[in-house]
Chain A
Amino acid sequence: SQLIVAMATAPHTWLRLVPSCRSYSKATRLHKIDYPWKDEPKPHWVRQFEARRVDADLTPENRDWLRQWRLQRVRDAVASSSEAAAAASPLKEPPAARPLWTPRVSQRCGLVGIKLGILPMWYRNGQKVHTTVVQIPDQRVLRWVPPEDLGNYASLREMRPYRLNQSLLPRWLTQQRWGLQLVGAVPADPANFTAQWCGIFKAAGLPPMRKISRFLVSPDAALQPGACLGLHHFRVGDCVDVVARTVNRGFQGVMERHLMEGGPAAHGSTKFHRKMGSAAGGGGPIYRGKRMPGVMGNRFRAARSLPVLRVNTKHRLLFIKGFTPGPPHSYCQIMDSWMLDVRRSLDANPPPMPTYFAEDAPEGGYPEDVYHPDLLPYDQPLELPD
């Protein structure tokens, strides 16, 4: 219940004027032509937030009481669908047929996380490693869209103009091997949202949530609406991909945004120091996708194949090696890595399918901190081999 109140700071993407780091190579900037509106959060056809109606007939005390009553209903809905409730109830049985991990076929659902910050740690060989601390908030499965129904799905039904021009549609849309799993995270007061937004959650019997994410999941790992996704969905040692919106650096010129050279600072250069220069050749038209100034950042990018080094059950934290995109307190999607070597290692050591349930817990439960065997906890001295 504390999580509902604590997550009141919604990580909307606001402007962060952070100077970009020019030290990373140009190769990381060479992406195929993409459009800013491709990164629109979905569902974009439903307005999420609504200004709370001020009911002048209510006294302030009654208004507060009603708010507490609404929040308590949200907490009860969250508690009744949690994994603890499922474990405690004598009537509910665990899912009858848990699907098996099928090599080269299975792709599990992911988790929604909130990036908090960076914590340095050390390996047992003395090497330093920076870990990103990601908190896993309350989340539930909203909906499953099978691959056959992708063409009918709302966000894909209305063909956007750039899709008609594109000869290459995304493979998940054409191959239809995977379906869409909608996951809602961070339950909150229904009075903050529009009725349309609350209606999305009504079918699953869930309270409205601040964040809806979609994951590409294979049909054998599909989860039914209302299923609980927890911290132990990922184990220590699993490699994950973290997808998030990068830091918004605002309107930037070509030198900052595309690492262009600009012009000489001196030697008679007249008003040509940080410009683009020529836009096309031979009087021809400027081609689509020409690199020009514009808003930099605030795009979805993925950090691939990052191992989970530590799990903290008290604060519901995952410590992921390396750095993930986005500023602190922004949402991120965490999923089993798509990299081939990670997929092969998962075939050998399958994770809990389709997700973690209470019956997978070890005897005696989990300790507060679960460390990777290569990681050195701070209360242990370093012992280097001779």
Chain B
Amino acid sequence: MPPAPSAAAGSCALSLGSRFLFGCRVTAAHRFAASPVQPPSPLHQQPHLQPCRQGRRWLRPELRGVYKPRLSPEAMKEFWRLSGIGPDHSRAKAADQQAEVPPEIKRLYQEALPPIVSQDYRDPIVESLHRAEMMRRRRVINIPEFHVGSILAVSVMDKHAPNKVNRFVGLCILRRHTGLFTTFTLRNMVDQVCVQIEYELYSPSIVSIQLLKLERRLDDNLLYLMDAPHSHCTIPFDMVPEPYSRNDPVPVNRERVRLNPPPWMCKWHLHGYQGIDLEHLYSYLSDKDVAKAIEFSKAYKRYDLLDQYLNRVPVPDADYAFKDIFIQHQELLQHQQQQQ
């Protein structure tokens, strides 16, 4: 690294950088009045100019005459790959960044991810306590892997029920919060009445959670089924569980639901739902609303870095959580084998 210029009286302005000249109107002559550095020469003779849009910008003396190679495209690509954000990172890819933890852990323990809130409200000890208590609860009850769009049968303790147990079968339309606060909502038709029940996943009053059909939909939540024909969420209470294999990828149900005519409970066209028949949906809307919906669904969001940064779990935190869970998962398997 070249030595800094000598601390002469006139060059102090230059060596201290521009911060002491902030707000002052400075001309080139003033800056280079008594400095050892030569005054600027014509543009084509100066290799030490930084290219920038606003015009010329002088490089610091220690950077002049020094060749700094740009980052190679491979290095830049690696940087963006590790960052976890950017147009090349879809939500699914970010979760599967590291190959050290098997993918089945990420499918089973989706709620082990830390919450997406400001760093001020997150604490590593509290998060590790949540994970430890989650795994302790899983020694008592088997919580299967399920996604929004799967069909579940949940039995809860009910002192007023004949068998002291209340069983409800439904389609999972929503799954939210993290850690021990995780809840999921089941929807079904009971005597031609729509019923939605929200259960806390780690509540001890849940006796059993049985997976009847493992399936995934195109959306994170299926709240639009509230404005859809009831046939989409009518599930027989005596449904036979369908077998599934853990090793196979989760089947995706790509059906597109046709909503009922408006009025709707919510402006479904403004949330980017993929599981709604959009042509049919737009036929109910005015041209202005259709334009707004199309504007919303444009693909610019994959370039919105701040949106991705704020609405995703940082990759190192996700890795740490899954590794912690993986170790406890292996202990859980040993515990289950011992019990048998």
Contacts and interface: CB of A to CB of B under 8 A. Distances in A.
Question: DSSP class of A's interface residues: helix, strand, loop or mixed?
Answer: loop
A328 B164 CA distance: 40
B77 interface: no
A378 B157 contact: no
Given A329-B120, A380-B140, A116 B125 contact: yes
Nearest to A119: B129
Interface residues on A, range: 20 to 34
Interface string B145-157: 0000000000001
Given A116-B125, A119-B126, A119-B129, A126 B205 contact: yes
B321 to A, nearest CB: 15
Nearest to A377: B136
13 contacts: A117-B126, A119-B129, A119-B130, A126-B204, A128-B200, A328-B120, A382-B157, A382-B204, A382-B205, A384-B159, A384-B164, A386-B159, A386-B164
A213 interface: no
A327 B120 contact: yes
A382 B202 CA distance: 12
A126 B164 CA distance: 14
* Complex A-B, nearest 6 residue pairs according to Cβ-Cβ distance, in ascending order: A117-B126, A382-B204, A378-B136, A379-B136, A378-B137, A378-B133
B277 to A, nearest CB: 37
Given A327-B120, A328-B120, A379-B140, A133 B157 contact: no
Contact of A122 (B130, B141, B164, B204): B204
Given A119-B129, A382-B157, A382-B205, A328 B123 contact: yes
A194 to B, nearest CB: 28
Given A119-B180, A133-B126, A328 B205 contact: no
A298 interface: no
B204 A379 contact: no
Contacts of B57: none
A260 interface: no
B123 A116 contact: yes
Contact of A116 (B126, B136, B164): B126
A135 interface: yes
A317 interface: yes
B230 interface: no
A163 interface: no
